Amino acid sequence: MTSPPEVLDNCIYIFKNFLTEQECDEILQHFNPIPAKEAATVTYNFLDDKGNKTSHANHQDHSYRKGLIKFSKDVPSGDKLLMAMEFVASDTGIILTQDVVDFQLGIYDNEGDHFDWHPDHKVQAATFYQQVRKLSASLQLTEPTEYQGCELQVRTEQSSGRHITCSKKKGDFIVFPSWLSHRVTKLESGHRDSLVLWYKGPESR
């Protein structure tokens, strides 16, 4: 890393100018041939107190989430992004599992596209999976002059509702604990792409 990240409210790490414009464009080119799908949310249900799963379902609720997504197992400059997340884990004491990472391209290109308040770390999922999301991150892939609205906001105090609106600059990389609620406000105009990463680790540590 070329310079230390800016740390907001002791929990949001902003790596400014972390990737160049060319590196960001290479990530977008990587996703070009991958089909997009409508963004959805996942619901889990339980059978008993041992956590035996009865069902889980993907469903669309446009009042809660609206946009398109693409998934990939790796991306250009992925190692550099993981290095930054591992730095945050070391700095905060969050324990990760090596290379257990998800990559998702978020596409907001229609007015009103958004993702309402939510955490990425869901305790109930730990009943089914050995690893849960421990760190969440967003890489800005679009210049802020190309869209209005569509801001990433992270709630740092649940009781007061205090939240921080994160940098929109292309190439900036934002990392925070997955249990913090966050949202993407409604797109007012233009188009925004962002790369979202989740670095997993053991639920109990």
Are 185 and 196 in contact by the 8 Å Cβ rule? The answer is no
User: What predicted TM-score, i.e. pTM, was given to this entire model?
Assistant: 0.88
SS3 category, 53: strand
SS3 category, 49: coil
Rounded Cα gap, residues 2 and 175, in angstroms? 16
pLDDT (tens digit, 0 to 9) for every residue of the chain, 205 residues total?
568 999 999 999 999 999 999 999 999 999 999 999 999 776 544 444 445 554 444 556 778 899 999 999 999 999 999 999 999 999 999 999 888 898 999 999 999 999 999 999 876 544 455 788 999 999 999 999 999 999 999 999 877 889 999 999 999 999 999 999 999 999 999 999 999 999 999 886 6
Q: At residue 88, what are phi and psi to the nearest 5 degrees?
A: -65, -45
